[in-house]
Amino acid sequence: MYTGQAGETVVKKDRLEVKLLRKQIGAKRILEEISFQAVTGELVVITGPNGAGKTTLLRILAGLLPKTGGLVLWNDAEYDLSHGAIGYVSHRPMLYESLSVQDNLHFFGRMYGTGSQEWERELLSLVGLWHYRYEAVAILSRGMQQRLALARVLVAKPEMILYDEPFTSLDQEGQDLLRGVVEGQRFQTIQLLITHDLEHLRGLAYRELKLQGGRVQEGGTVSA
């Protein structure tokens, strides 16, 4: 996002393209020729049964697993993690439990070079944790840790956010908050989200990518 002539806000359109992506571990084929595209402003919801390859796909895009074959392109160039910040929200919070809520967010903000007191306060308020900022992460409930993990991702101002079952452990208030964040990021990022329950996304516009046995079964369903 940048400011154009006359001070108007202009959103840079990025494009992710996955072509014939494969992942194999030993003799086991986990992903088989996965192909799809996504652009800034789009929410792609990845569904399918356990073992379909959903988490493996996101972990490859997050740079946590190597691919066996195929292409992943970012704006028509070979994809790598240097294109910009990638946010990965796992069902495991991935936080430093010995640090406070505030110190966790400050650490990640400094690491990404995007942190500031104002930005960190805004994010902790957004996820409902400002009044818990001095608490150690270890004593927080799992749902509150998930909220902090979401703030950890947002502090980097990512160009793409990958959500792996993000509604896990969230109470109703937390689920409503997460839906608000997803909607708020709509025009700034590409978003890919795994869920087993599409009811969590009621009221949001999205495109469904359905996986079965490591293959795309359906890739064009649009809901609102």
% residues pLDDT > 70 (the chain) = 90
Could you give the CA distance from residue 194 to residue 163 in angstroms, rounded to a whole number? Answer: 6
Q: Is the pLDDT of residue 17 over 90?
A: yes
Range list of H helices, the chain: 54-61, 101-112, 117-126, 142-154, 172-184
CA distances from 53 to 23, 212, 216 (A): 9, 8, 10
pLDDT at 41: 94
CB distance 218 to 194 below 8 Å? no
**What is the predicted pLDDT for the residue at 169?**
83
Q: What global pTM score does this model have?
A: 0.88
More confident site: 83 or 118:
118
* Strand residue runs (E) in the chain: 2-3, 9-10, 15-25, 28-39, 43-47, 69-74, 77-78, 86-89, 160-164, 190-194, 206-212, 215-223
Q: Residue range 30-52: average pLDDT?
A: 95
pLDDT score of 83 more than 60: no
| pLDDT above 70: residue 81 | no
Any idea what the Cα angle at residue 55 is, between residues 141 and 43, rounded to 5°? 85
Q: Read off the pLDDT of residues 119-174 as tens digits, 9 standing for 90 and up.
A: 999 999 999 999 999 999 999 999 999 999 999 999 999 999 999 999 988 899 99
